[in-house]
Structure 1
Amino acid sequence: MTIRVGYFPNNNSLFALRHNGLLELRLPDVEWVDLRDLPATPRVDPRDGLPTLHSDWLFEAGGYDVIGTGFTPPITGLGQGRDLVYVGISGPRVENGRLVALSESGIRSAADLRGKRVGVAHGSWQTTLVLLALDREGLTWSDIVPVDVDVDRGGAALLAGEIDAWVGAYPGLAEVEARAKVRTLVDTDGLFSHPSLWFVRREFAENHRQELEAVVAALQESDAWIVANPREAARFFVEDAERRGGTADLDRWEEALRGRPFGIGAVTDEFLDEQQRAADLLHANGLLPRPVTVRDAVLPWIGEVVEASRPAAV
């Protein structure tokens, strides 16, 4: 059986696994599906809903069997009625990014964002961060002007004055910090844990347990390799950017990887509570078509597999 794995640079673990060949040592027939090359789903106005690319292609013929993303996409899929299940989560990535504005803007906190243009990679963890930050200040999604910006180009939009605030992530945030003074409006730490996470179709998990176990084991091995070889792993991201006609800084990518948690753990009650709170907020703000119960997407035996595969130290 061919196992199709969806990947893109924003999920560092799967991206490195795509390039270091460790999965192929466990599964002889792997097809890697670059999410950036998939036909795009229709763009969604950030005021009207959430993009559904990840969950669409998880359930589309010719899509993929396994996917790793940030915090929001599995909630989006569940809100579409997709029968997906969680595989595992990384540790907290609270140092990965935060909500910022230029110091000269006069914006000092999330409470000042009413009526402001806020740049997010809409549908990613960034949407959840902004919603949680607004809710803490008694504001809602309709109180801001959300602007969908590419995760790699949002910094340029902030510097150009096209948006007033931006959820930046490293290494892109470092490039902005090198060119301008920025003010942190909301730190991720203290707001939510912001892990990487992985999910699959329930049908795949139940009918292809051996293959799923192989993917989990390869991810654990690959993550340990990243920790031991961050500069070599960083080269994968730089070379990819160059192949696609762009540029990337090796030192900044290495620094970014050194600052991120690697290794996959089972989903926890704390994580599921965060997912449920985000799902409730997304629905209340009109971004999710139906309420969801995230614990319906848990298969306990998968957590046992994930924990059994963890190396002694990652």
Structure 2
Amino acid sequence: MVTLFHQVKQQKVSIFQRFALFVTPSLLAVSTVLSSCATSTNQSITASTTSPSKNETKTAAIKIKVLRLGYQTAGDIVKVKGVLEKRLEPLGVKVEWSQFAAGPQLMEALNVGKIDLGSVGETPPIFAQAAGSSLVYVSGRRPSEGKGSAIIVQKDSPIKSVADLKGQKVVFQKGSASHYLLIKALDEVGLKYSDIQAVTLPPVDAREAFIQGRIDAWVTWDPYLAFVQSKAEARVLRDANKIATQGGFYIASRTFATENPEVLRIILEEIDKNGDWAESNRPEVVKLVAPILKIDPQIYEVVSGRASYRLRAITPQVLEEQQRIADLFTQEKVIPKKIDIKDAALTPEQYEAITPDTLKTAVKN
């Protein structure tokens, strides 16, 4: 495999770079400049709505003028449909969106106060918490079958199984869900994280390098996965089936979550409602999102077909599973210290206030 060479300018140390010394020496540190984010200052206002839903009070104390949401390059159907803007406008709240290359970059923006809320996989919040970020889990995403994330190689690669990755360079985005998929898959075949040569690279750069045949083993997710499966006949060694059991999360800054429970409940309610629509109307999702991502509709049909759009409530069981993932990272010396996931949780009373009734019902059932 041809070695990657990327000239990277020195940048301000991020929360993820603070513990780079704790990963394998072969790890190539690459940081991505944060996307341009709104810097509006939150101010307290009181807004009234004359037509509240049954879950809203007629006069809600809203402490923000601008809700700053982060989303990833893969797109966000909630943003495309504009459902949050329609719901929050009567409350006097504007919505601003910022795009990020992947979950770690989104978590960095949350840490430095550029956004209030965003959706990521299970791994980025673990890395962010280990680096001292003040974050909270506000909702989970229902897990998919895991077909949308995988460890892949070139179609003619001599690497035939995960076990064959020993001693090989493996490219992935550090601190992303792919990081966990790789470590867990290695563990399944009796390998350690230190048994491979880890090379971290943002997915956009890795996609082009893979297509050009400059890297062999890559761990990635949709739509990048679907794209290289179509354009480069990438071969899957191991997908995330029965590994990515968490489904990912919506993560907020603690300040935003604790000061804006009314707004947060409305947000989660609209996201889940939209997710219900998306899962019943996948062809429409393709028509809406594919042109925005500038991706072949046939490729995005694959992406949408294996995606999960609905939310799920944060429960003790969900937090316990997240703790197991964090403990694996500690065991493999990928993060510098053991963390307690409960430190990034709200109280039961706070979860009760922000969790939509539809998610509470799903837990009971």
Q: 2:343 aligns with which of 291, 296, 305?
A: 296
Distance 1:260 1:147 in 2: 27
Deviation per residue, 1:123-169 (Å, 9 max, x gap): 21000100111222332222212222333453443343322212243
How many equivalent residue pairs? 292
Distance 2:324 2:273 in 1: 32
CA contact (8 A) 1:216 1:309 kept: no
Partner of 2:129: 78
For the pair 1:106 / 2:158, whether they are aligned, the reply is: yes
Distance 1:228 1:52 in 2: 30
Q: 1:89 aligns with which of 114, 135, 140?
A: 140
Distance 1:229 1:19 in 2: 14
Residue 103 of structure 1, CA deviation: 4.5
Please report the RMSD computed on the Cα atoms of aligned residues, expressed in angstroms. Answer: 2.7
Distance 2:229 2:110 in 1: 36
Residue 77 of structure 1, CA deviation: 1.6
Deviation per residue, 1:71-113 (Å, 9 max, x gap): 1111112102222111111221212121122353221222211
Deviation per residue, 1:31-80 (Å, 9 max, x gap): 3232339xx9xxxxxxxxxx95333321324x111111111111112102
Change (3 A) 1:59 1:153: closer
For the pair 1:140 / 2:192, whether they are aligned, the reply is: yes
For the pair 1:8 / 2:72, whether they are aligned, the reply is: yes
1:15-164 correspondence to structure 2 within 5 Å = 15-28=76-89, 29-36=93-100, 53-61=105-113, 63-93=114-144, 94-164=146-216
Deviation per residue, 1:256-305 (Å, 9 max, x gap): 21321221111244433332222123233333232211122222245444
Q: 1:261 aligns with which of 299, 304, 308?
A: 308
Change (3 A) 1:290 1:113: same
Distance 1:179 1:220 in 2: 33
Partner of 1:210: 262
CA contact (8 A) 2:169 2:199 kept: yes
Residue 182 of structure 1, CA deviation: 4.6
Length-normalised TM-score, structure 2: 0.71
CA contact (8 A) 1:121 1:148 kept: yes
Range that drifts further, 290-299 or 263-272: 263-272
Partner of 2:355: 306
Deviation per residue, 1:156-204 (Å, 9 max, x gap): 4334332221224334333433455554322311223151310112222
Change (3 A) 1:113 1:264: same
Distance 2:153 2:228 in 1: 10
Residue aligned with 1:5, SS? strand
Q: Aligned letter for 1:86?
A: Y
Distance 2:214 2:259 in 1: 48
Change (3 A) 1:162 1:142: farther
Range that drifts further, 173-182 or 289-298: 173-182
Unmatched segments (≥5 aa) in structure 1: 41-50, 242-246
Distance 2:283 2:248 in 1: 20
Q: Aligned letter for 1:164?
A: D
Residue aligned with 2:198, SS? strand
Identity of aligned residues (%): 28
Change (3 A) 1:33 1:177: closer
Q: Aligned letter for 1:16?
A: I
Change (3 A) 1:312 1:236: farther
Distance 1:264 1:202 in 2: 20
Q: Aligned letter for 2:355?
A: V
Partner of 1:244: none
CA contact (8 A) 1:264 1:306 kept: no
Distance 2:350 2:303 in 1: 29
- Kindly name which structure, 1 or 2, has the bigger radius of gyration based on alpha carbons: 2
Structure 1 runs (4+) greater than 6 angstroms displaced = none
Partner of 2:3: none
Distance 2:108 2:361 in 1: 36
Range that drifts further, 102-111 or 112-121: 102-111
Change (3 A) 1:55 1:175: closer
Partner of 2:298: 251
Deviation per residue, 1:6-25 (Å, 9 max, x gap): 12243x5xx11112111112
Unmatched segments (≥5 aa) in structure 2: 1-63
Q: Aligned letter for 1:91?
A: R
